[in-house]
Structure 1
Amino acid sequence: MYAKCGRLAEAHCVFLSFNNSSLIATNSMITAFAQHGLAEDALKLFHKIVDKGQKPNHVTFLGILTACAHAGLVRQGYDYFESMKTVYDIEPNTDHYTCMVDLLGRAGFLAEALEMINSMPQKDCPAAWMALLSSSSLHSSLAFAKIAAQKLLEMDPHNAAAYTVLSNMFFSAGMKDDEETLKVAQLSNMASKRPAYSLIIQDKTTEDQKQNEHL
C-alpha cells in the first residue's frame, strides 16, 4: 500500500520491522523497488534472501526482471531469466517472457525482442506484442511496429492502441498518405476503445440481516 502510494521509505520501514519476513513480503518489497526504478536495491534484496536459503518463486522473478527492464540491465536480465530454469527449476510463463521483451525492447534490441516472442510457448500473447509495439515507437522503428501491430490486430481487430501508435508513427515520419490510409482502415474496422464500466455488488447478507431485524 505504501509503495503504491509512492511512500517507498515507509514501505521499507514496515518491511524491516519483520523479524523473519515471508516470501510474500519480500516479493512486495522487490516489486516496490523495481517499480520505483531502484534496480540495485531490488537485486540486493534478491541475493540477500537467496543467501539466507529462501527460495524465490515466479513472483520474485517478475520483480527482478521488471527492475532490470527499467534500469536497462540487459545482460543481468538474461542471466536471471536463464537461472529460473537452470538454477531454481522454475518454468518461465508468459509474464516473464513479456518482461524480457520489454527489457530488450527498451534497450533498443528489437530484433532480439521479436526473437524472444517467437521463442515463447504461447505466441499469441497480446501483452508481449504490445511491449514490442511500445518499444518500436520509442525507438522510431516503423518496421517492427508494423509487425507488432499486425499481430495485435490479428488477435483483436478492434485494438485501438495498435492503430493509434501506428498512426502517430506514420505522422511523425511524414508519411501522411499512409496515415490517412490507416485512419480509413481504423474506421472501417470500427476500432475504438471499449467503454469502461462500474459495478456495484450489494451485500445480500447484510440486507437480509436488516430485513430480519425489521421483522
Structure 2
Amino acid sequence: MKHAQQRQHVVDLCIELSHRGYFAGTGGNIMLRVDAGHVAVTPSAIDYFSMAAADVCILRLSDLRQVEGDRAPSVESSLHAGVLRARPEVGCSIHTHQPVASALALLGAEIPVPPEWHAALGPRLPLVGYAPSGSGWLASKFRRAVRPDINAYLMRNHGILCCGHDSAAAMRAVDDLETLARRLLSQRIGARAVGSAAGLRQALWRMHDALNGRSPS
C-alpha cells in the first residue's frame, strides 16, 4: 500500500478528533497533502473507529481523480481541495461539526478574532453562506472565501473548516476556534441575561454555566 504512513495519520487524526468531541459517527472529514500533486482524504460514510489506513483515499489534487483506495472519497473533497489548491503552504484541512463553533456559525455573521488568536486562526472568521453538503455550489462559495491569512471558516448551518501548514497546526486551529466560540457565545448569553425577565434570565444563566462547564445551581 502506497502512502501508508500518511493514510494511517489520517485515521489517527479522525480518532483523536472523535475523542475530543469534534467528530461523531461519520460526520467530519480531513484532507492531508501527501506530496506536490496528491492528497489523502477520508472515505465517505465510514465510522472513524472502524476505519483502516487502506480505506483512506489518495486523490490527484488537480482534478480529484482517485489513484488509490477502494472506498469512495468524502463528498467534501472539493471543499478541501479548494483550500489546498489556493494555498500551497497548507498541508492539512479539517471540516467538523464541532458543537460550539458550529453554533457560532448559526449567528450568520463574520466574527472578528481577538489578537491572541490571530496566529492560529487569522484576524477574522469569514462566514460562508449555506449550500448543500458535498455540492459544487458549496465548494465554489468556499473557494471564493479563502484568504492567505485566515485558517478558520464558519459555514452557515453546516459547521466549520480549519487549516494549517501541517496537521498539528490545523488541529490547533480547531481547538482554538472551539475555545474562542465558547468565550464569545458565553459573553453574548451573559449580556442577554442581564435585564431579561426572571424565567428567561434563569434559563440563559443555566445555558451560560453549562457552556463554561459548571453544574447548574
Q: TM-score range by the shorter chain?
A: under 0.3
Largest Rg, 1 or 2? 1
Which of structures 1 and 2 has the larger relative contact order (alpha carbons within 8 angstroms, sep 6+)? 2
Q: TM-score, normalised by structure 2?
A: 0.26
Return the structure number with greater strand share.
Answer: 2
Return the structure number with greater helix share.
Answer: 1
Q: TM-score, normalised by structure 1?
A: 0.26
